[in-house]
Amino acid sequence: LRNEMTVIQGHAEVIADRSDDEQITSSAASVLDSGDRLLATGEKAREFERLREREVRVDRVDITRLLSRLVEDFEVEHPDATIDLDVPTAPVTVETDDRILSLVVSGLLENALVHTNPGPHVRVSLTAVADGSATGEIRIRDDGPGISASELQPIVNGRETAVGHGTGIGLWIVSWGLSILGGDIELTSDDEGTEARVRL
């Protein structure tokens, strides 16, 4: 995928550079944008495949520290975004695989930031849970346009069809990752934004 997209993007760049026709340069830019999205999808799939093939490595993970680190990384990658972090002062720990959990949270953060209007506002919060069924709940709330039912339904159904499928792989990786970790997710979405509640 990467090799073929490199060829496609290389030719699109040549077309854009050598044409004075606005419509042609616009089309070339669309090809480049689509190529970037395909390469990002392939990279996500490859990273998840690497994690899936290895043994799950369970350690005591400080979710407070993990969220702080990921939020800092995303603030650097998305300087136009506002990301509020609300975590307890005392560490909230859980027995889990920190690399898979990081991939899950990163997928949700990326979804919240990329699919939101310019200057997105995202709130990340963590609550310790003491009801016996979970040890922590992560909430990620954005102010975007919401996730369409057509994107969510295949995840709920657990499969895609020719007429019922999503446009990316991010939510699938979140779903598969939580399945490996024994966690669960609840997504609520409306025209004021989307909230993901992950219970570990």
Q: Tens of pLDDT along 54-78?
A: 788 899 999 999 999 999 999 998 8
**pTM of this prediction exceeds 0.85:** no
22-53 vs 98-114: helix axis angle to the nearest 10?
160
Is residue 185 predicted with pLDDT exceeding 50?
yes
Percentages helix, strand, coil for the chain (3-state, rounded to 5) are 50, 20, 30
**What number of CA atoms fall less than 13 Å from residue 124's CA on the CB side?**
26
Contact call for residues 136 and 92 (beta carbons, < 8 A): yes
| 111-149 per-position pLDDT tens digit | 888 877 778 899 999 998 776 556 789 999 998 877 766
Cα separation, 94 vs 21, whole angstroms: 57
